[in-house]
Amino acid sequence: MTDTLSYAEVIGDPIAHSKSPIIHKFWLEKLAIEADYRMFHVKPDELADYIASRRDDPHWQGCNVTIPHKLAVMDHVSDPGDVRASIGAMNTIARTESGDLFGTNTDAGGFFAPIADVPLTGQDVIVIGAGGAAQAVLFALSRIDVGSVTIINRNVLKASALLARFGLKGKALEHGSALPPARLLVNASALGMKGQDELLVDLSSLPDDAIIYDLVYVPLKTKLLVAAKARGLETIDGVSMLIGQAAVAFEIFFGQAPPLEHDEELRKLLLA
């Protein structure tokens, strides 16, 4: 790869754990596209300078945005799809044909893809977290007419405000509270991620048909998913959403849909 190739990247703090380069490089190779995908460590106080430098780089096609920049990045790019008013967080920055930078969000679609066939209308849901990923989850849930939504978060007031924002009925609880019964539990926080605090929840109140969906993918077998499997519950790991949101971003960056027929091979690569 040379510096004259078009490229995209993923930014965050931390970033070394990211599997996005594996996914995008896999697709680029399968499609024989002459381009690159990288990771770049950007601390919160470096975000404005990062965006400014990439804005002037004609080879840069855009970036995926991960913790903790999904909210702050909205102040640095245009918002043609009014993401700020809908999901309230951006995870993808790209260029228009005229070279202007705009932001969008592929998390909501990526989150929903693995559960699209699950009948969740009128079903109760628990969401852990209230950051950018949680907002994408809540946005998706608001579009499928779920029942009551319980948000578990350190800041209960913030969580309550998100319920109102997305027009969801439910309640906000602090960490450590007993979980209400629910058909779906989603961990949309960083808890349980490598280097972060563990997510400690008691799943005993959930029904036997509950689905446990952990957006964390490092480690892939989180303690939450291990506990869920020990109870015989259905589980969905973070790789499912990771591939789903990456597929939308890839087409934005490189102008071609990714070859999803190779998903099984890609998943094995990610789990190696």
At residue 190, what are phi and psi to the nearest 5 degrees?
-85, -5
Residue 84 near residue 56 (C-beta atoms within 8 A): no
Instruction: Please tell me the distance from the alpha carbon of residue 57 to that of residue 88, in angstroms, as a whole number.
Output: 27
Which one is catalytic: 25, 43, 70, 169? 70
The predicted structure's pLDDT at residue 229? 97
76 alpha carbon, distance to own chain's centre = 20
The predicted structure's pLDDT at residue 4? 76
pTM as predicted:
0.84
The predicted structure's pLDDT at residue 3? 63
Cα–Cα distance list, 239 to 26, 62, 111, 162, 242 (Å): 15, 22, 10, 26, 5
Instruction: Please tell me the distance from the alpha carbon of residue 256 to that of residue 259, in angstroms, as a whole number.
Output: 9
Active site residue 70: yes
Which residues in the chain land under pLDDT 70? 1-3
Instruction: Please tell me the distance from the alpha carbon of residue 37 to that of residue 99, in angstroms, as a whole number.
Output: 19
